[in-house]
Amino acid sequence: MISEQEIVDATQEIFDSMIMAPVQAQAPLQKKITYFDKTVSSVVGLAGDFQGLVGVHAGEDVARGIAGSFLESDFEEVNEEVKDALCELANMLAGSIKTSLTQKEYNVQISIPSVIHGDYSMIIYSQAEWIMLPFETDTGRFLVEVQLKGNPSE
């Protein structure tokens, strides 16, 4: 379906070309994180041959740092601009994953991004295949999550 390397490549390309900040991939997590504390998460849903999501999870400081690089501004708090920047990052990642799946002749649509901020638990598809990759930036670590569930015809 989607490989770890495809997620790494898409994330690094977005950070290199759009956010203008260095990002380094780390080894995928062996256990999914479902509880987030003082975090900004943006999620884009996937539908069609697969159901699932593309999510970006960043602690408040990291989210402010990503938004600051992206928008060339400093943010003292998580505001609507910071949330919008994380939504745009998740949207670009979902677009890259949709393109990868479409090139493999799967039918996939993406939703508009949603954002959650604060302390929360998040479990979308408990039986889905998932990858959760940490990335390190100058301001700290964030996670990119992909969950896919479905029985595409081949």
Instruction: Check if the beta carbon of residue 118 is closer than 8 Å to that of residue 133.
Output: no
107 lies in a domain?
Answer: yes
Tell me what pLDDT residue 150 has.
82
CA distance 40 to 127: 24
74: left (phi over 0), alpha (psi -120 to 50) or beta: beta
Q: Which range of residues forms the domain containing residue 63?
A: 4-149
Q: Tell me the CA distances in angstroms from 54 to 72, 96, 131, 136, 140, one per residue in order.
A: 25, 10, 10, 18, 20
The CATH number covering residue 9 comes to 3.40.1550.10
Where b means 16+ CB within 10 Å and e means fewer, 73-91 reads eebeebeeebbbbbbbbbb
Count of structural domains within the chain: 1
Q: What is the pLDDT of residues 4-33, one digit of tens each?
A: 999 999 999 999 999 999 999 999 999 989
pTM for the model: 0.94
Q: What is the pLDDT of residues 40-67, one digit of tens each?
A: 999 999 999 989 999 999 999 999 999 9
139 lies in a domain?
Answer: yes
- Which of these, 43, 79, 73, lies nearest to 60 by C-alpha position? 79
142 lies in a domain?
Answer: yes
Q: Quick one: CA dihedral 118, 121, 126, 129, positive or negative?
A: positive
154 lies in a domain?
Answer: no
In the predicted model, what is the mean pLDDT of the chain?
Answer: 93
> Is pLDDT of 93 > 70?
yes
Tell the residue number behind the tokens 């898409």, with chain if given.
10
Instruction: Check if the beta carbon of residue 26 is closer than 8 Å to that of residue 104.
Output: no
131 lies in a domain?
Answer: yes
Residue 81 sits at φ, ψ, to 5 deg, of -65, -40
128 lies in a domain?
Answer: yes
Tell me what pLDDT residue 133 has.
97
> Is pLDDT of 154 > 70?
no
| Residue 126 banded pLDDT, cuts 50, 70, 90 | low
109 lies in a domain?
Answer: yes
Q: Quick one: CA dihedral 16, 21, 25, 29, positive or negative?
A: negative
Tell me what pLDDT residue 113 has.
97
